[in-house]
Amino acid sequence: SAVISQKPSRDICQRGTSLTIQCQVDSQVTMMFWYRQQPGQSLTLIATANQGSEATYESGFVIDKFPISRPNLTFSTLTVSNMSPEDSSIYLCSVPRQGPDGYTFGSGTRLTVV
């Protein structure tokens, strides 16, 4: 399976600021997925990031709030903009596994907004 390096692992940020989360994959993947996991909750898909095209956002998520970059087939960033305490969550990137079905997740970024 692909190995994903995600950083930062955690951060405490002031409200109104922005944080950029990075995911680096050790192999080329066509699609990368960004999820949010609020405390004690399930995983909610934010957007799907394709290389060379704009990300596709799920209902309730907008590009102005969660801009995504996908400059090549091994890297993506998610920015959480103009943060408020409600943005405090774990953010995870995910890619399809090599070969079999299923997905591999990054180690997650635990974001606390104060």
Partner 1 sequence: GENVEQHPSTLSVQEGDSAVIKCTYSDSASNYFPWYKQELGKRPQLIIDIRSNVGEKKDQRIAVTLNKTAKHFSLHITETQPEDSAVYFCAASGEGGYQKVTFGTGTKLQVIP
Q: Residue 16 CB, nearest distance to partner 1 (Å)? A: 28
**Is position 102 an interface residue for partner 1 (rule: CB under 8 A)?**
yes
46 close to 78: Cβ distance less than 8 angstroms: yes
Query: For residues 44 and 81, which CB has a smaller minimum distance to partner 1 in the complex?
Result: 44
Return the H-helix or E-strand segment holding 62.
Answer: none
Which two tokens mark 51? 């290389």
Which two tokens mark 102? 């299923």
**Is position 57 an interface residue for partner 1 (rule: CB under 8 A)?**
no
C-alpha span between 5 and 58 (Å, rounded): 24
Query: For residues 52 and 102, which CB has a smaller minimum distance to partner 1 in the complex?
Result: 102
Question: Site map for partner 1, 26-55, x if CB under 8 A?
Answer: ----xx-x-------xxxxx--x-------
